[in-house]
Amino acid sequence: MNKFILIVLVALIGQFKGSAQIFEPVTWSTSVEKISDSEYNLVTTATIDKGWHLYSQDVPEGGPIPTTFTYDDQGGKIIILGNTSEEDGHTINDPVFEMEIKFFENRATFKQKVEIPDETSSISGTVEFMVCDDTKCLPPTEVDLTFKIGVPDHSASGEVTPGADADAQTGDSVYKTPSKSTSSNTNNSNSRSLWAIFILAFFSGFAALLTPCVFPMIPLTVSFFTKQSKTKALGIRNAIYYGISIVVIYVLLGWLVSFIFGADAMNALSTNVWFNLAFFLLLVVFAVSFLGAFEITLPQSWANKVDAQSNRSGLIGIFFMALALAIVSFSCTGPIVGTLLVEAAVGGNTIGPIIGMLGFSLAIALPFALFAAFPGWMNALPKSGGWLNTVKVVLGFLELALAFKFLSQADLVLQLHLLEREVFLAIWIAIFGALAFYLFGKIQLPHDSPVTYISVGRLSLGLLVLSFTIYMIPGLWGAPLNLISAFPPPQHYSESPYGVGFTKLGGGGSANSHEALLEGAHLLEPHDILAFDDYDKGLAYAKKVNKPVMIDFTGWACVNCRKMEQNVWPKPQILDILKNDVVLVSLYVDDKRKLPEDQIQESKVRPGKMLNTIGKLWTELQILKYKSNTQPLYVLMDHNEENLIDPVAYTPDVDEFHDWLKRGIGNFE
């Protein structure tokens, strides 16, 4: 038991550590398979670092940059037979691009069948690709490939990292992109996410403790340990083992969920339609059970067998007593545990379910150990009664509200527009309004005791729920509702995206009309932020209006760039700054438009390669000046092109991003 808990804690600590790293997440290797005397398969294998994904060759127009192979046919001597084949990979409905997208994780193999003459010793080619993880994307990158004919499969394969040039003879890597950057934002995000899971699970454990299935067990169990133990010290020791057993049982359950799903499945959960629909139905069943329609129980035979084992002496018997508690109380704890596991799993972190069950079980186990150590505290416990069922019903309403979050996710992915923002909020207003009436004693459910009066605590909770319900009502007319921004669909996914009485350029926009736009400027929809896509023109305008420059290194196919633009930029405090206090310069690193002939130049990062597109030019600028090759990257600079504050990457926390903007602008002023 102790070893298992130690492993869990070590894994948790490992999640919190941040470190600097060079972003070269894909290594390419080549080999050749002989099919006949003149036909061969050119095999290209991508080894992908954990957490990153490489996009397929077959990506719909408007999506991420697809992986593309080109081969040198040596003036027609090499005959390319058919298209390059690839493995199955993973296909998801991406809510950002609103389309089905296929990608690869860990490893991907591509094969191209060719017919070649006898005298050919090698074939060269290139692959252009794009990779992303949960917080950043790399710009489209070209890698040279060399396939040696007559060399046994994989015996002399060339390995090339992103941005590398392969030697024409050996295929060895001779260059690595000097794109060092820190991963602190990613690790901090993971840490916050795990802490959020732990805290939510811990308080959920206390809620489960106050249900009719668990609360009455506290005095019974503590009494057993104090009476059956020969000494007080022995009773305390046994109670502590009992608490540890509860923790181990639930943590094992969390580990089992992580083991069954695995990292790939968890990363796909949040955008998988069928998972979200299944979770919606599951939570509705849990909610209806808590509301009193029926009880979810495990087979009675399980409880009988486990209870028989609990009569054994020693630590084994204590462990089975804890297991018996978990089984007997399942009708109350099961829905809460199920919801926690669902929430932790869709977070995309394999350790999430383990952390969730650790927090939940600690909240369950602590009272048993503490009351066994200090039996006198038992006198302060409230008596069991109808209030326990009230707790259960309140949890049922919360489960029902949460269920619609998953139905909303499925609707967003399919873009059905059946559960738009107004409909979602109307459902939540109805649910929480009904909960308020229940707490005020105006609604009675099957297992409720007759209510002659309500306590001050119940009245206070009812007033809090009623206030929350009233708070949501303006959301039907376009209010942002920042307190619950993570739950309803985004504001643009609604019948009235701008809200009643809201104009596109409201709030002091930087431009008064589309006709008034300056040369090189455009309006970013749907918020109509004045932006430049040319560095020099944006800088010149910033000098003219005496405002700092905010450079936005972005990409048309950058998922996390769209997340920032959809979830962070629309917040009033952010939008006001972007419209009024800075000049936004958006540089798209995957812009395929050709540069004018007089602007084409040799790359300083990749000597011998030419910068012939706008995207390559901005990528070069980002790598040379800011030592980073990931998007998004945000830079605040003055008119001398000096940083006002350290650049930041993907920052989903609105307050953190707002603080960064304010501090940078303050340094300019």
Express each pLDDT in 313-330 by its tens digit.
667 777 887 787 777 777
Is pLDDT above 60 for 167?
A: no
Residue 491: CA count within 13 A, CB half-sphere: 25
Cα(614)–Cα(592) distance, rounded to whole angstroms?
6
Q: How confident is the model at residue 591 (pLDDT cuts 50, 70, 90)?
A: confident
Cα(240)–Cα(224) distance, rounded to whole angstroms?
13
Peptide bond preceding 632 in cis form (omega within 30 of 0): yes
Distances (CA, A) of 384 to 216, 255, 291: 7, 34, 19
pLDDT of amino acid 303: 58
* pLDDT tens-digit readout, 451-480: 788 889 899 999 999 999 999 999 888 787
Pairing of strands 549-554, 529-532: unpaired
Cα(579)–Cα(574) distance, rounded to whole angstroms?
9
Give a three-class secondary structure readout of 614-630. Answer: HHHHHHHHHHHHHCCCC
Is pLDDT above 90 for 634?
A: yes
Residue 185: CA count within 13 A, CB half-sphere: 22
Question: Which residues, at least 6 apart from 114, have a Cβ–Cβ distance to it below 8 Å?
Answer: 39, 40, 41, 42, 71, 78, 79, 80, 81, 123
pLDDT of amino acid 416: 79
Instruction: Give the count of beta carbons closer than 10 Å to the beta carbon of residue 87.
Output: 12
Pairing of strands 529-532, 601-602: unpaired
3-state DSSP call for residue 525? coil
Number of H helices, E strands in the chain: 17, 21
Cα(212)–Cα(395) distance, rounded to whole angstroms?
12
Q: Token pair for residue 56?
A: 């397929």
pLDDT of amino acid 440: 94
Is pLDDT above 70 for 623?
A: yes
Q: Average of pLDDT values for 236-240?
A: 79
Cα(434)–Cα(443) distance, rounded to whole angstroms?
8
Instruction: Give the count of beta carbons closer than 10 Å to the beta carbon of residue 489.
Output: 20
Q: How confident is the model at residue 505 (pLDDT cuts 50, 70, 90)?
A: very low
What is the enclosing helix (H) or strand (E) of 432? helix 421-439
pLDDT of amino acid 513: 41
* pLDDT tens-digit readout, 532-542: 988 999 999 99
pLDDT of amino acid 69: 92
Question: Among the listed ranges 15-19, 29-33, 121-125, 376-380, which one has the minimum average pLDDT value?
Answer: 15-19
Tokens 């319900």, residue?
469
Distances (CA, A) of 82 to 79, 85, 144: 10, 9, 21
Pick 142 or 413 by higher pLDDT.
Answer: 142
Q: How confident is the model at residue 557 (pLDDT cuts 50, 70, 90)?
A: low
Of all residues in the chain, the percent with pLDDT exceeding 90 is 18
Among 371, 204, 392, 197, residue whose Cα is nearest residue 291: 392
Burial class (CB in 10 A: 0-12, 13-18, 19+), 528: buried
Taking the alpha carbons of 139, 140, 146, 149 in that order, is the dihedral positive or negative? positive
3-state DSSP call for residue 38? coil
Cα(611)–Cα(601) distance, rounded to whole angstroms?
5
Cα(186)–Cα(194) distance, rounded to whole angstroms?
12
Question: Which residues, at least 6 apart from 480, have a Cβ–Cβ distance to it below 8 Å?
Answer: 491, 570, 571, 572
Among 337, 248, 250, residue whose Cα is nearest residue 296: 337
**DSSP class per residue in 41-105:** EEEEEEEE-TT-EEE-S---TTSSPPPEEEE--TTTTSEEEEEEEE---EEEEETTTTEEEEEE-
Q: How confident is the model at residue 640 (pLDDT cuts 50, 70, 90)?
A: very high
Domains annotated for the chain, with CATH where assigned, are: 23-175 (2.60.40.1250), 185-384 (no CATH), 420-502 (no CATH), 514-668 (3.40.30.10)
Cα(70)–Cα(78) distance, rounded to whole angstroms?
12
Cα(348)–Cα(453) distance, rounded to whole angstroms?
46
Give the helix ranges, DSSP H, for 347-385.
352-373
* Cβ proximity of 87 and 104 under 8 Å: yes
CA angle 14, 16, 21 (to 5 degrees): 85
The strand order across the sheet containing 39-48 reads 79-86, 107-115, 39-48, 26-34, 159-160
Burial class (CB in 10 A: 0-12, 13-18, 19+), 49: middle
Cα(109)–Cα(44) distance, rounded to whole angstroms?
6
Q: Average of pLDDT values for 33-60?
A: 87
**DSSP class per residue in 195-212:** HHHHHHHHHHHHHHHTST
Cα(621)–Cα(66) distance, rounded to whole angstroms?
23
Among 428, 385, 402, residue whose Cα is nearest residue 346: 402
pLDDT of amino acid 639: 93
Of all residues in the chain, the percent with pLDDT exceeding 70 is 74
Q: Average of pLDDT values for 625-650?
A: 90
Cα(520)–Cα(497) distance, rounded to whole angstroms?
28
3-state DSSP call for residue 28? strand
Among 309, 321, 35, 24, residue whose Cα is nearest residue 180: 24
Average pLDDT over the chain, rounded to an integer: 77
Cα(327)–Cα(322) distance, rounded to whole angstroms?
9
* pLDDT tens-digit readout, 134-159: 767 787 888 888 888 865 544 334 44
What is the enclosing helix (H) or strand (E) of 337? helix 330-346
Burial class (CB in 10 A: 0-12, 13-18, 19+), 356: buried
Is pLDDT above 70 for 181?
A: no
Pick 644 or 6 by higher pLDDT.
Answer: 644
First-residue to last-residue Cα distance in the chain = 59
Is pLDDT above 50 for 184?
A: no
Among 138, 161, 132, 107, residue whose Cα is nearest residue 53: 132
pLDDT of amino acid 101: 84
